[in-house]
Structure 1
Amino acid sequence: MRVFISLILLAFLATACGGTRDPNAGQDIDDRRRAELGSIFGTQGMLGSGGDGGGGAPGIAVNSYLWRASLDTISFFPMAQVDAFGGVIITEWYSMPEAPNERYKLDVYILGRELRADGVRVAAFRQVRGADGEWRDAPVADDTAAKLENAILTRARQMRIETRAQVGE
């Protein structure tokens, strides 16, 4: 279990140290604005965020910072289902190389359009391989889900700060 938590924290630290990339590098302000206005749904997407600064992106019905931070934080897990509109990420079972007889699965739920502490929920599942080779459900440390939620929230806040610094707010 310690290995799993250490791996999660290591992944979080590695992503936190990553550089900031401007996806629109090479475009001037007028080109960006023209691209935004050219969209059939405008800059707010089909649902619109109402200009509340909630971090919603076009086509995503949940907070985009929480969504991207969730994907970033658990990126080493293979994904089974990823639904940006509903805010659901479900991973496949994943075994760490140093612990091949145990595996983990995560369900991550983004609960709204605002960047709030209660805006993300993680459910963690663990199985261990028995002597007969069959996988059996096993308990997960009580604080595992909370640590993952905190890592996602921290990364989301970092992303929001980076975005605002780029925009000049």
Structure 2
Amino acid sequence: MEDLSEIYKSYADEVKHFLICLTSDVDLAEELTQETFYQAVKSIQRYNGECKMSVWLCQIAKHTYYNYLKKANQINQMSVENMMEMGVDIPSNTIVPDVAIAQRNTLISIHKEIHLLKEPYREIFLLRTSINLSFKEIGEIFDKSENWARVTYYRAKLKLAERIDLNEL
């Protein structure tokens, strides 16, 4: 039991930071961090030491987040369908709110553009820049090569640079 608490103390902040980058929601990231470690405890026998513990935990965190999104999407879809079945008229702007912000500072703009990148570009960019994972570690998370991670990160940077340049015109 002491080993598990040491693992939590050593890696909880890193996992939480990774999840904050994925979710942009501190409260959700904290909740998912707890779920990640719960899942890790349940499957600790599957950790074979081939990758760093932090990489293994980030893989679990990523899958935990994806599972959360699937469940949230199902609940939202069911709620909208139930309301429609009951005859409630749902305007399209209530499902996807139109958020208009007149002025944004540079960091918020860049952060938003990062989150508009398609997967796996967004996640690889965040893994590399936010928690400073090596390309080898990123490749391990995706079950790909170090070279694949390096090339994908480079492409993510190009896509991000294009988006930022287009928005400044």
Q: TM-score range by the shorter chain?
A: under 0.3
Q: Name the one with the larger strand percent.
A: 1
Q: Name whichever structure is richer in helix by fraction.
A: 2
Q: Which has the higher contact order (CA 8 A, sep 6+)?
A: 2
